[in-house]
Every structure is written in C-alpha cells, then in structure tokens.
Structure 1
Amino acid sequence: MTDAAAHGEGAPLIAPSSTDHPLYDAVVEGCRTVYDPEIPVNIYDLGLVYTIDITEQNEVSLIMTLTAPGCPVAGEMPGWLQEAIEPIPGVKQVNVDITWEPPWGMDMMSDEARLELGFM
C-alpha cells in the first residue's frame, strides 16, 4: 500500500450519488424546491447538494454544504430539505448531513444557476 493510499488520498471528496435508483430524479426535483433565502436559485443548482444516497429500502441520505459556515439558515436548511423529500411517494426516510469538505465554490453551480445570477 502506498503512503497516499494509507491516508485515503485520491478518494473522492464527494461520495457518489445513487443516480441509477428509481427515486433519484424525484429526489433531485425535491431538492430543487429548496432555496437559499439570500440567493434566487435552488440549492441543487447552486451545487450545495453533494451526495444523494438512496438504499434499496428507499432510505435517502443527503450530504449537503452551505455557501458559508456563517450562513444564517444553517440550522434550518437540512430540515427544509427533509420536508421537501419526505412526501415523495416511495421515500421511507430522509437524513440530511452538512459537510464543509470540500468547501463550496462558485464552480459547483450549474450553468442554469450561473445564468440566473448573471455569471454567464
């Protein structure tokens, strides 16, 4: 084992999402209904949702970040996301975790978000 492998370097900072799960598209649409109150773009297109992991039992785990650690809605945003996804037919439960690694950057926004905010 190389020294880098022993320290977990080279592993993706953002875990892969369950893009092939039948509920994935519906969960993404649920994410798109949640907005950062300071920015007129949904949190999915802003790139704040890093990972959508859905188990075979339809349990959804999301890993998200915020634009800044001092975000005034940091305590509320996970709950908003949970409320947006729990009502989706077939979803058994929703868990939302916040991470600061990797830090969010403007390069994580979708083209639609950049256009909406005048960056393109």
Structure 2
Amino acid sequence: MQLICEYQSPEYGFRYTHSVNNRPNMSDFKLHNHNEFQELLIFLDGDAEFRVEGTTYFLRPYDIVVTQNTEMHMICHRSPSRYERIVVSLDNNFFVKNDCEEFKEIFTSRPLGV
C-alpha cells in the first residue's frame, strides 16, 4: 500500500487517509468492523465490490460508502487492478465534540447493511 496523504486530529476526533494499492492482495482485506469509529470510504479507482452485513455493492469511481461502527464489512477485489481510496474515520464522540450530533443519523438511522 502506498500512502498518499494522512491527517489525524485527536482534538476533533477524525482521521483522513488517501492510499493506493497497485496490485491489491485479497488476504490484506478481511471482514471486520470498527467499534471505536464510523467510516466513510470514497472509492476512487479499482475493480471491487463492498460487502457489508451480507449485502454486496458493486463499486464505481467516486462511490461513497458509509459504515456504522458495528457493521461487519470488507472490500473484495474482482481483479488485481489498482485500488485507490480515501477513508475518513470519525470517532464515536466526533459528533458531540464538533457540536453536530444531528449528522450522526447518517450512520445510525438505517438497518445494518443498507
């Protein structure tokens, strides 16, 4: 993996990562969740699908995937083509810290996997 840009702000409770895998290895991408944070994935390039809680979404460039902290998810590469993405991780207390609690509903007001 090549890290293009990374920025973290503990004060505001988020992390931004822009990275590329020129030849992604499926063994590097396992089913997981993030108990400590919500996640936004901005898919920029590749041949992949996103699996979350038993639902599969085929990804196209500039798709944005929103995952709750408890959702089991993974990226699945359909070919070894270049994979580029931006990941924004928001701590569970991000919305309180930044006085924007109404936006947490974007992550939490839907069934898992949808």
TM-score, structure 1 as length reference: 0.26
Task: Identify the structure with bigger relative contact order (alpha carbons < 8 Å, sequence gap 6+).
Answer: 2
Larger radius of gyration: 1
- Which is richer in strand? 2
